[in-house]
Structure 1
Amino acid sequence: MYILGIDCGGSSTEALLTTQEGRVLGYGQGGPANYTVNGTSGVVQSVLTAVRGSLEQSGLQLENLHQRGVVLALGVSGAGRSAEQVQIRRALESEGFVQVVVAHDAVIALLGALSGADGVVVIAGTGSVAYGVNGERSHRVGGWGYLLGDEGGAVWIALKALQQVMWGYDGRLTKDETLLQAAKVYFGIGEPMELIPLIYKTPLDRGLIAGFSTVIGKLAQEGHAAAQEILVDAGRQLGRLAVAALQELGLAEAKGRVGACGGVFSAGQWVLEPMAEEIRRAAPEQTLTLADFKPAAGAVFLAARHLGLDLPSVAAGLGESLY
């Protein structure tokens, strides 16, 4: 029996092909796969691209997987409702997959971050969301998209920085030449007004906007005060997501871990320290840690749980072949 664990994110898709013991055979990538933005067809296309990549690396053919049996398990950003998950599952079944398990991407992020244990994970990638499980209870905080939420996510960080560029341009702030030059270089523009058609074009290029957050991270590391302030604020926002989930699940006074998962955390201390402080104030027995595994490995745990496998054994197999 094989497992295909898929992380369908707003910027890209990742696939891990493993044995049922968790031994990794191949890795593949695909394009963006947010259900709300890309729809079922976009999700399926990106999943199939990532699956083909994992097969190429493994030297196996899809027919080999179907002959031996394969579970396709995926966490899909923007697909938090059961009707959406059923739609995606049926579309993948029509592609020939017999066993398909679909969940929201927060579910696989938690499974990967804490190796299948109960607790809370905060995902800060293109957007942001917190998700937690305590026994039979689960709770989600945030993840409402770039207009209603996603505080502390990459798009949020980038837009905060671009706001400051525009405020410097129109006189509400002293012009920040370093930030302005960084925006010009990244977006390939000559003046701030050229940002308007880039930011507001339809469909919104969230990947392009989110990518600017990495520039803000580099500026912060170089000592740029405004970039540091934006990232500290992002950390506080992400900490509040975690605290709300812990409180709703009755974990605020319990000993445990909060997993941090996603590209925003590559900014390091500027995000992690204020986030940890927010958590310490409300839940002093909870420790903020980076994720044990990436969400694609969490999708492998999702498949393993579906098959009734021993999760610690699967975690050991993943750990030996990934690290």
Structure 2
Amino acid sequence: MSYVIGIDSGGTHITATAYKDNIEIATATAGPGNIFLDPQQTIKNLIKVITEISEKLSSNTCTLILIGIAGLESADNPQPYLDKVKDYFKSLTENIIFTSDAKLALINGLEGKDGFLAIAGTGSIVYGRQKNKYLRAGGWGYLLDDIGSGYRISQEAVATALEKMDRGENSSLTPAILEYFKADNLKNVVSQYYKLNRTEIAAFSLKLAQEADRQNDEAIMIL
């Protein structure tokens, strides 16, 4: 039996799936996979998921591995890291293809047609295709861009509450912020904030979305 592997290597986690005749036959997951932010960890996690699937299907033949990697278009000289994956699995298959996670999602979603895709996860990007030309807006990482990302949304919410506190005003977001960051006041939220990683901070955006569903005007404005 022959099979192919498709991998979504995202900023929060990596998901790998093996298919035979478009039927899912095995899966594996690992930690973050943004090659721009942490290339060594990304390659380590990619090797982990591919190894796990290949061991599950050791009596079968892998004919293709297609990998969509977050941060691939922003990374500085990612080729040596990609070559490491190819070398590691050259006995499994010579057919390993790399692309950005956004482009992979775009191609899959449009099924060959023109259009665009907006991704708003831990990071964010808008990716489009028109007459075989690919276009992008954003996706340059949380320090410079990612305006619609979970991280930026969380950052805006906490910053808004702190700004209101400085003016002697109360923010309607404060109770949700205190609960999520496990603090008894906003000053203590700051120390907690700097202890968390980007993914943990981004997860607060889900709480903010719940506040918006409750018609919280501040949450709605930030979103």
Same fold (TM over 0.5): yes
**Contact persistence 1:85–1:102 (CA under 8 A):** no
Residue number in structure 2 paired with 1:150? 146
Percent of aligned pairs sharing the same letter: 26
**Contact persistence 1:109–1:123 (CA under 8 A):** no
Normalising to structure 2: TM-score of the pair?
0.87
Q: Are 2:60 and 1:72 aligned?
A: no
1:84-131 deviation line (CA, Å, top 9, x unaligned): 442332111232243211111111110222234332111111111111
Unaligned stretches of 5+ in structure 1? 232-323
Q: Distance in 2 between matches of 1:198 and 1:82?
A: 29
Structure whose residues are more often strand by fraction: 2
- The equivalent position to 2:187 in structure 1, one of 182, 187, 193, is 193
Residue number in structure 2 paired with 1:300? none
Residue number in structure 2 paired with 1:99? 95
Q: CA deviation at 1:217?
A: 0.8
Normalising to structure 1: TM-score of the pair?
0.62
Q: Are 2:115 and 1:119 aligned?
A: yes
Q: Distance in 1 between matches of 2:152 and 2:199?
A: 12
Q: How many residues align?
A: 219
Structure with higher RCO (Cα < 8 A, 6+ apart): 1
**Distance of aligned partners of 1:25 and 1:208 in 2 relative to their CA distance in 1, 3 Å threshold:** same
Q: Distance in 2 between matches of 1:73 and 1:125?
A: 21
Residue number in structure 2 paired with 1:225? 217
Q: Distance in 2 between matches of 1:94 and 1:55?
A: 15
Larger CA deviation: 204-213 vs 88-97: 88-97
Q: Distance in 2 between matches of 1:117 and 1:230?
A: 33
**Distance of aligned partners of 1:82 and 1:228 in 2 relative to their CA distance in 1, 3 Å threshold:** closer
- The equivalent position to 1:207 in structure 2, one of 189, 199, 220, is 199
Q: Distance in 2 between matches of 1:81 and 1:10?
A: 13
**Contact persistence 2:65–2:96 (CA under 8 A):** yes
Q: Distance in 2 between matches of 1:162 and 1:9?
A: 25
User: How is 1:194-273 mapped onto 2 (pairs within 5 angstroms)?
Assistant: 194-201=188-195, 205-231=197-223
1:8-29 deviation line (CA, Å, top 9, x unaligned): 111111111112x321112222
- Match of 2:137, SS state, is strand
**Contact persistence 1:79–1:103 (CA under 8 A):** yes
| Runs ≥4 residues deviating over 3 A | 48-56, 81-85, 197-201
AA partner of residue 190 (structure 1): D
How large is the Cα RMSD of the aligned pairs? 2.3
